[in-house]
């Protein structure tokens, strides 16, 4: 019996060593690139991995004309600027690209700018109400549409969101000016406004990654404000033809414990349910993770700031969730965490949250801080993302996090 107990203890020690080694690999964080003034600053949108294996993204600030950039980065971290906005007089080529890029079926990248262009909205520092653009992998940019180019701006303006392309080649997106709109853009550049929001049905659709297309062919999105409760925002469904249905109004519970301002948007997984985050609300007022059925029944999976000290689980989750091949969800929080600069976290479908990295863990925040963009999982299984500030120059970073997954993202 003594020998057997000794064998059990040895086995336990051996297993502990193996589990510890796996855990160490699962949290292998590395800074790949540091933004500087010329390369751009404040990358707010998630990266996209192109067909060539490189990563492409946008930064909203700095660059040669203080109006943002489009960049390319190799998986090893070599950063190249493809385009600097406001290169044309009066920023006719657009400025401040908040939304994520997408690579379309033609191999080119498509995106939006929040300001610039030739539209007649002039309520910002930079003239214009934003654009839709196409850019080749080599960096040749063409403006496809100028928002607020119609009298009274029925076509919308100031898009904070990226685009989605559907099977027929058309693009769908949202604008945030006024209550906001949902629009369709044909492959030839003709824009059709599908829906103009009213405050009671939601306002300011602002997800950086934009709409998603569900398994039923409809589109799903969120508004950051408005709704029946005045301020909480909504989750909505809209048909490709423009018929909108509000699925949920946030702040429906006392004290907005169900969440408030679902800024980041939603994803849909294979069970048909939608998952997302709210920036504010929840038990402690700094955000939630939620599940929403297609019929509109909401379940709060996690309220941030439940861990102490200093909200160890993070706070203010600005970024959209992604689901990885292990069927868990991954994303970032914008602030708090053990070192105050936000976190990278994993959460299960039942709501168990694990903090994988706390930003500002290195002196002077050399690992970056405040990540509003979220993550993308590369074809090698590793997560890649950006921080809005910090790094060597203080203008943000690109990082990778290896959690020992060897397949690409599910959603």
- Comparing CA positions, the residue from 343, 350, 209, 207 lying closest to residue 291 is 350
Q: Pairing between strand 191-196 and 181-185?
A: antiparallel
Q: How many CA atoms lie within 13 A of 198 on its CB side?
A: 6
Each residue's pLDDT tens digit, 323-332: 998 999 999 9
> What pLDDT score does 14 carry?
33
What are the residues whose beta carbons fall under 8 Å from the beta carbon of 312, sequence distance 6 or more?
336, 337, 338, 355, 358
The span from the CA of 88 to the CA of 330, in Å, is 39
Residue percentage of the chain with pLDDT more than 70: 91
| 3-state helix, strand and coil shares in percent for the chain, rounded to the nearest 5 | 10, 35, 55
> What pLDDT score does 123 carry?
61
Mean pLDDT, rounded, of the chain? 91
Sign of the alpha-carbon dihedral angle for 302, 306, 308, 311: positive
Question: Length of the chain, please?
Answer: 411
3-state secondary structure of 47: coil
Q: 261, 224 in Cβ contact below 8 A?
A: yes
Q: What is the pTM of this model?
A: 0.91
In the sheet with 234-238, reading across from the earlier edge strand, the strands are 212-213, 219-223, 234-238, 244-249
CA dihedral 161, 166, 168, 172 (to 10 degrees): -20
Q: Is the pLDDT of residue 130 over 50?
A: yes
The phi, psi pair for 8, rounded to 5°, reads: -65, -40
- Comparing CA positions, the residue from 321, 320, 302, 322 lying closest to residue 312 is 302
Q: Pairing between strand 191-196 and 212-213?
A: unpaired
Q: Is the pLDDT of residue 219 over 70?
A: yes
Displacement of CA 372 from its chain's centroid (Å): 7
Residue 26's pLDDT band, with cuts at 50, 70 and 90, is: very low
Topology of domain 32-196, per CATH?
Answer: Neuraminidase (2.120.10)
> What pLDDT score does 406 carry?
64
Going from N- to C-terminal start, the domains of the chain cover 32-196
Q: Is the pLDDT of residue 21 over 80?
A: no
Q: Is the pLDDT of residue 53 over 90?
A: yes
Which residue reads 């849909």 in tokens? 268
Residue 24's pLDDT band, with cuts at 50, 70 and 90, is: very low
Q: 307, 313 in Cβ contact below 8 A?
A: yes
Q: Is the pLDDT of residue 280 over 60?
A: yes
What are the residues whose beta carbons fall under 8 Å from the beta carbon of 90, sequence distance 6 or more?
116, 118, 127, 128
């Amino acid at each position: 019996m003594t020998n057997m107990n000794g064998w059990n203890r040895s086995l336990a020690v051996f297993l502990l060593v193996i589990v510890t080694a796996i855990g160490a690999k699962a949290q292998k964080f590395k800074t790949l690139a540091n933004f500087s003034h010329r390369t751009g600053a404040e990358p707010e949108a998630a990266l996209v991995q192109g067909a060539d294996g490189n990563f492409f993204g946008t930064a909203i600030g700095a660059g040669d004309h203080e109006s943002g950039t489009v960049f390319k980065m190799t998986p090893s971290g070599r950063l190249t600027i493809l385009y600097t906005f406001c290169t044309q007089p009066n920023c006719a080529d657009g400025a401040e690209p908040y939304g994520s890029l997408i690579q379309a079926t033609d191999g080119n990248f498509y995106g939006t700018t929040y300001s610039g262009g030739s539209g007649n909205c002039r309520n910002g520092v930079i003239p214009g109400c934003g654009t839709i653009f196409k850019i080749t992998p080599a960096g040749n940019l063409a403006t496809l549409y100028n928002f607020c180019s119609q009298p009274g701006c029925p076509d919308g303006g100031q898009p904070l969101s990226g685009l989605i392309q559907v099977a027929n080649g058309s693009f769908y997106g949202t604008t945030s000016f006024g209550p906001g709109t949902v629009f369709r853009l044909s492959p030839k550049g003709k824009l059709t406004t599908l829906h103009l929001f009213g405050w009671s049905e939601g306002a300011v659709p602002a997800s950086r990654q934009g709409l998603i297309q569900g398994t039923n062919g409809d589109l799903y999105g969120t508004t950051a404000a408005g709704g029946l409760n005045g301020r909480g925002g909504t989750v909505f469904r809209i048909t490709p033809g423009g018929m909108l249905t509000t699925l949920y109004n946030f702040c429906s519970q006392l004290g907005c414990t169900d969440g408030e301002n679902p800024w980041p948007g939603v994803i849909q997984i294979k069970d048909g349910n939608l998952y997302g985050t709210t920036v504010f609300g929840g038990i402690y007022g700094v955000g939630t993770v939620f599940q929403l059925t297609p019929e509109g029944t909401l379940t709060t999976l996690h309220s941030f700031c439940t861990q102490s000290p200093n909200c160890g689980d993070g706070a203010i989750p600005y970024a959209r969730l992604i689901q990885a091949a292990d069927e868990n969800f991954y994303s970032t929080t914008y602030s708090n965490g053990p070192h105050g600069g936000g976190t990278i976290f994993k959460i299960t479908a039942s709501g168990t949250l694990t903090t994988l990295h706390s930003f500002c863990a290195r002196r002077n925040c050399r690992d970056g801080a405040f990540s509003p963009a979220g993550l993308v999982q590369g074809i090698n299984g590793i997560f890649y993302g950006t921080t809005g500030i910090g790094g060597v120059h203080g203008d943000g970073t690109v990082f990778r996090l290896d959690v020992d997954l060897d397949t690409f993202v599910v959603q």
